[in-house]
Chains A and B, each alone.
Chain A
Amino acid sequence: MEGGSNDATSVKVSARDLDVFYGSTQALHGISLDARANRVTALIGPSGCGKSTFLRSINRMNDLIPGMRRQGRILLDGADIHDPGVDVVDLRRRVGMVFQRSNPFPKSIYENVSYGPRIHGVSDRGTLDEIVRTTLEQAALWDEVKDRLGASALSLSGGQQQRLCIARALAVEPEVLLMDEPASALDPLATARIEELIHELKERYTILIVTHNMQQAARVSDTTAYFYLGRLVEVGPTAQIFTNPAKQETEDYITGRFG
């Protein structure tokens, strides 16, 4: 099936009239956007357009920024993530995140992957071993590191470190995976591996990915949303956005006339 509009899968993440302010600056203006389960939603747009802010709103990482204010709602499976009853710890377990620059802890490969399960109360060694193995397999890293799980994560290459960070995020069994330009610091080969991985991961997860790379958005995503100056300009099936966008601004950006 091509595209997202007539898609059979359910809506997993849904933003409704989301405004975000940093101090007196408004970073997001009334964003309403749906991300479907088992689909990849790409967020594109020039630097400072609010796509990362939007991404970081979904797991409430923006809460850590002093002076941040928000209006509007974000629904995860139909439930507002800002409800007073929602535990942000539980939200972040369900909504994993992979950052632009790979940020493994200066610990061993094993400790990196088992960090999440451990903080969520798994202490049985056998269970941890199993989680580490399966998540490293899912992140397509197992074969490369299975003989040196005790080695420092910092001894891995950049691409391997990023796949380790993906494994680390998967280890807490999230439902949604947020990826903030996960391949922007990687060489083309490592990038290709990450894209391949995204393709496999969408079988099990809902993925939202921020990218500066148009080709990447076209290759990996089912739905594309174009942000500009904190507003959502256009959203639609990726094939349509890239071949026949409804708005002139979108076309200008995609064809590289600006941005």
Chain B
Amino acid sequence: MSSRLPGRPSAAWKGSAFVALCGAAAAIIVAMLAIILADVVRNGWAGLGWEFLVSAPSEGMRGGGVGPAIFGTFALVLLMTIAVVPVGVLTAVYLFEYARPDSAFARAVNLAVSNLAGVPSIVFGLFGLGFFVRFVGGGIDRVFHAGELAWGKPSILWAALTLALLTLPVVIVTTGEALRAVPVAAREASFALGATKWQTISRVVLPQSLAGILTGAILAVSRGAGEVAPIMFTGAAYFLPKLPTRLTDQFMELGYHVYVLSTQSPDIEATKPILYSTVLVLLFLTFLLNATAIAIRARFRAALRPQDA
């Protein structure tokens, strides 16, 4: 070879070394997840069973199960969803369909959404206590119950609303992405037929965004289901003899139960097997929700995709 470019023999192995480094960095995340799962499953699997899933804790947290905490988690998350989805979807529709992107209000909303997403969850907890429990709840009591304590104390309603605030950015952002994914051609087709903006949004844009909106709702749920800090001052209870039946009742919750078992038990060693099993249930629930979100998204995408006749 008579090339005047001598080449750099070191370049090849430097390239390979870099690939190996990137691969190793990527492998760390897989290893971490594997270690966490292995640890939790190994220690928690034996304690799992029908009895564990339905019964209440007993013997000062050393026995029994997590039935009330599972029930409380579902009730909490259901209330949260009812609160967060309409508000989040309406906000996203306003932001991405109606507001001029450069208007002061739209920018303020955008700023609020991205900052809300960055607020530490314990701050939401304190805010929930101060705003929902004391201000709103206390206000209701002063006005309607002559100061008697009914709403102005921690409850599942206030916890759910606090959690809704925490998950609001998730719903807004995923809904916004879903709205933007609706092709211009679909909107134009509707406008060209004489549809108003409202008709186009309600009959074309929102139906086509449904998969994204559902995904957002489920992601919010799976985010909210594991949060402890926002609910510890606003409604979660250490132990309750009965299940919550009213909005003003307190409740037990899986994430909070994990916290209780690991820090508040009189005999931490004795509660360890139960703690592991509880974590396993919590992880399983979260994974299940995420898997559901992915499945729904895939299904709707397939339904919207053109097929060959």
Contacts and interface: CB of A to CB of B under 8 A. Distances in A.
Interface of A: 59, 61, 64, 89-93, 96-97, 99, 101, 103-107, 115-116, 119-120, 152, 154-157, 160, 165, 168-169, 172
Contact of B195 (A97, A119, A157): A119
A108 to B, nearest CB: 12
A106 B194 CA distance: 19
Contacts of B306: 154
Interface in B166-202: 183, 185-186, 188-196, 199
Contact of A116 (B183, B193, B304, B309): B193
B192 A59 contact: yes
B185 A99 contact: yes
B10 interface: no
CB-based closest 8 A-B pairs? A103-B185, A93-B194, A92-B194, A97-B192, A116-B193, A154-B306, A103-B189, A89-B194
B192 A154 contact: no
Contacts of B199: 119
Contacts of B309: 155-157, 160
Nearest to A93: B194
Contacts of A99: 185, 188-189, 192
Contacts of A104: 189
B305 A154 contact: yes
B204 interface: yes
A169 B191 contact: no
27 contacts: A59-B192, A61-B188, A61-B192, A64-B191, A89-B194, A90-B194, A91-B194, A92-B191, A93-B193, A97-B192, A99-B189, A103-B183, A103-B185, A104-B189, A105-B204, A107-B207, A116-B193, A154-B305, A155-B309, A156-B309, A157-B309, A165-B189, A168-B189, A168-B193, A169-B192, A169-B193, A172-B193
A96 B193 contact: yes
Contacts of A96: 192-193
A57 to B, nearest CB: 13
Given A99-B189, A106-B208, A155 B307 contact: yes
Interface string B192-227: 111110010001100110000000000000000000
A97 B92 CA distance: 30
Contacts, number: 73
B303 interface: yes
Nearest to B189: A103
Contacts of B307: 152, 154-155
B193 A105 contact: no
A52 to B, nearest CB: 12
A172 B193 CA distance: 7
A152 B302 CA distance: 12
A146 to B, nearest CB: 15
A17 B185 CA distance: 29
B17 to A, nearest CB: 48
Contacts of B194: 89-93, 116, 119-120, 172
A62 to B, nearest CB: 11
A92 B192 contact: yes
Contacts of B195: 89, 115-116, 119
A158 to B, nearest CB: 9
A104 B183 CA distance: 11
Given A89-B196, A93-B193, A169-B193, A106 B303 contact: yes
Contacts of B185: 99, 101, 103
B188 A92 contact: no
A101 B188 CA distance: 11
Contacts of A152: 307
A156 B306 CA distance: 9
Contact of B186 (A64, A90, A103): A103
Contacts of A154: 304-307
Contacts of B186: 103, 105-106
Nearest to A112: B189
A172 B199 CA distance: 15
A231 B203 CA distance: 38
Of the candidates B189, B199, B304, B308, the one having the most CB atoms from chain A within 10 angstroms of its own CB is B189
Contacts of B203: 115, 119
Interface in B242-278: none
Interface in B4-43: none
Interface centre among B185, B207, B308 (most CB of A within 10 A): B185
